[in-house]
Every structure is written in C-alpha cells, then in structure tokens.
Amino acid sequence: MGLPKKAIDEFKVIYKSKYKKELSDAEASEAANNLVGLFDILYKCAVKENQRKQQLKKEPEGFHLTDGIYNCFICHKCHKQIEGEETWYDKWGIKCLLCQKAVKEGLVPYFVCEHRDSWYAVWELERKFGIKHQTAKKMVRLEELKARIVPYDNGDPYEYVFLKKENPNLIDPDRKSPARKSYDRNYNKVINARIREEKNIGNKTN
C-alpha cells in the first residue's frame, strides 16, 4: 500500500524547500515511497540486530544464525554465502566458521570485522595496485607483503588479510586529498588503539 496523497503533498513541499525543485505527483510518489521503504528495511535490520545483542547477553561466546543467508564480514562474497551452522555471530559480527576460528585464535585481529577500511583483500590488490592473486601470494612468500592468513582446517590458505598498518608500501591512490589525510590521521589513531587493546587482551589471557 502506497502513501496517502496528504503525505505525498507534504513530501513535495519538503523536497522543494530543500532542493529548490518541484516534483510531479508521480515523481514525488515514487521518491517518497522509496524513502519509506528504505527506512522500513533499516528499521527491521536495527530490530534484528538488537535482538542479536540481547541474545549475546545470554550467549556471550556467540551463536549460529538461523534466520537467513549471510556474507562473512571477512571473506565476504569471495567464497560463498553462509547460513545456519555455517555462520557464527558474536560481538564482532557475522563470520563463517573458518574466519571465526582465525579471529578466536588471534591469526586475524578482531578489528578487521568492524573496520573494513583497515585492510585489503587479495582482489583489492589487483584492482587498486595491479597485483594479481598469484603475484600477491608470491610476494607474501618473499616477505614483500605481510598477510594475516585464515587457514582451512588442513592448514592451506583460505583467505588473505593485508593490514594497511603492516603494509605501508601499499599506498591507496584515492588517499591524496587534505580531507582524506585528516581522516586517515584520526582513523589511524583508532586502529592503533584497537591494536594496543588486542595486545592487552592477549597478555591477560596468557
């Protein structure tokens, strides 16, 4: 069911006030209904996330997700989508079991789940720097690049995580503007704090 005409008319007034452009009834109806649809999706996602947070209070180590199909926060779509017992959700978000194990064992720092801008995946190396997959793996063997590796159960590499802080030679061509440099300085402070926090957690558990 679409929005009533009164709501559409109010949207037209707000839109014209903000953007100095008058929409037709059809344009306003489509835009307003799309906006409401977007907020409905965001609201449902927020409700679902809150329910998970509440469940985490009862199961702080985490649990499987049984209400849909998901992408791992680390390997994402590079391998496959996951559901049910293939998933794991904890305070660091949604992960496949292999990435969850790597985070739990400290092979990959937990903050990569929260801060996607803190690292590169293999496919990003080719897109941003022209370093193909096989070349990247060779550079890791030669210690020209440092990778945090998520292994399969047999020990073979499953996913490579290239932390930007550990690979300063990888300079993102998009990071040149003064605004971006300011953002990076503040962002680096956050990541450094996360790294120190993780080291402190590791020291306390040893």
pLDDT digits (tens, 9 = 90+) for 57-108: 999 999 999 988 999 999 986 667 899 999 999 999 999 999 999 999 999 9
Whole-Å CA distances, 70 to 74, 107, 149: 12, 23, 22
CA dihedral 88, 102, 109, 164 (to 10 degrees): -110
Q: What's the structural domain count of the chain?
A: 2
Same domain, 139 and 189: yes
What lies within 8 Å, CB to CB, of 192 at 6+ separation is 165
Q: What is the DSSP string of 82-94?
A: EEEEEEEEETTEE
Same domain, 41 and 71: no
User: Among 98, 205, 93, which residue's Cα sits nearest to residue 156?
Assistant: 98
Structure tokens at 117: 């801008």
Same domain, 87 and 144: yes
Same domain, 11 and 40: yes
Structure tokens at 205: 């558990």
Decide if pLDDT at 203 tops 90.
no
Same domain, 101 and 13: no
Q: Which long-range contacts (CB under 8 A, 24 or more apart) does 55-61 make?
A: 56/89, 56/90, 56/91, 60/90, 60/91, 61/90
Backbone angles phi, psi at 98, to 5 degrees: -70, -45
| 3-state secondary structure at position 25 | helix
Same domain, 42 and 74: no
Same domain, 21 and 119: no
For 144, the enclosing helix (H) or strand (E) is none
Query: Is residue 177 very low, low, confident or very high in pLDDT (cuts 50, 70, 90)?
Result: very low
More confident position, 180 or 1? 1
Residue 115's identity, in one-letter code, is H
Same domain, 153 and 128: yes
Same domain, 37 and 78: no
More confident position, 114 or 88? 88
Same domain, 31 and 113: no
Same domain, 122 and 148: yes
Decide if pLDDT at 202 tops 80.
no
Decide if pLDDT at 195 tops 90.
no
Decide if pLDDT at 172 tops 80.
no
Same domain, 15 and 66: no
User: Among 170, 110, 103, 108, which residue's Cα sits nearest to residue 139?
Assistant: 170
Q: Which domain holds residue 170?
A: 59-205
Torsion 130-116-195-185 (CA) sign = positive
